[in-house]
A and B are shown apart, each in its own frame.
Chain A
Amino acid sequence: NAGVMQNPRHLVRRRGQEARLRCSPMKGHSHVYWYRQLPEEGLKFMVYLQKENIIDESGMPKERFSAEFPKEGPSILRIQQVVRGDSAAYFCASSPLPGTSGMTYEQYFGPGTRLTVT
């Protein structure tokens, strides 16, 4: 029973390049969340997706950042034209479908992708 998978685990990009972060949710989970964690800080919500649908992107910067969760394949968080301030750990979490009987709907987190912009 594989957990949430994220790749790559570490990503180094130069300023101006694009970063693509991938997340495969746990089997049976249809909700994916992306969070950003700056060093020594808590998790900041970025975006919440279901398959082929963005539910809430209120935490996503308006420019350069985008996310998708296609019908097939992993969820992708894309950062275009990265800047040094984008250096952070990006966590993906998944949870089961609401309404599933007996579920507490805790989020299961992936190991994170640590992005370093040089």
Chain B
Amino acid sequence: AQKITQTQPGMFVQEKEAVTLDCTYDTSDQSYGLFWYKQPSSGEMIFLIYQGSYDEQNATEGRYSLNFQKARKSANLVISASQLGDSAMYFCAMREVTSGTYKYIFGTGTRLKVLA
């Protein structure tokens, strides 16, 4: 069965420090996509970053980077120079292609608290 595992229910980081949020996945597909979403206390889901299974380079978007280790099936999110506004829930997700359609599976999330 395909699944996403986020083993850190909660994390603390000091403002301006970097933090890594872990995500491992399990799939037998060769083609898949990995995503990270942020959910602040207001509740909306915000897309942060994407990594395709065939992408050779790690994805980066501003202060976000995705540490993609295909052999280990991990897709950790790195947030550099943390800000107070980064305090939120973070969800890792995987998209699979099945019979030409897409299905997305989400992890249970990591709650990040940035300390001043």
Residues of A within 8 A of B (CB): 31, 33, 35, 41-45, 48, 55-56, 89, 91, 93, 95, 98, 104-109, 111-112, 114
Contacts and interface: CB of A to CB of B under 8 A. Distances in A.
Contacts of B100: 98
Interface of B is mostly: strand
Name the 3 nearest CB pairs between A and B, nearest first.
A109-B45, A42-B108, A43-B106
Given A41-B108, A104-B50, A93 B95 contact: no
Given A56-B103, A107-B104, A108-B47, A43 B97 contact: no
Contacts of B35: 106-107
A78 B104 CA distance: 21
A76 B106 CA distance: 22
B101 interface: yes
B105 interface: yes
Interface in B61-102: 91, 93, 95, 97, 100-102
A106 B50 contact: yes
A112 to B, nearest CB: 6
A98 B50 contact: no
B44 interface: yes
Contact of A42 (B33, B47, B106): B106
Contact of A112 (B33, B44, B95, B106): B44
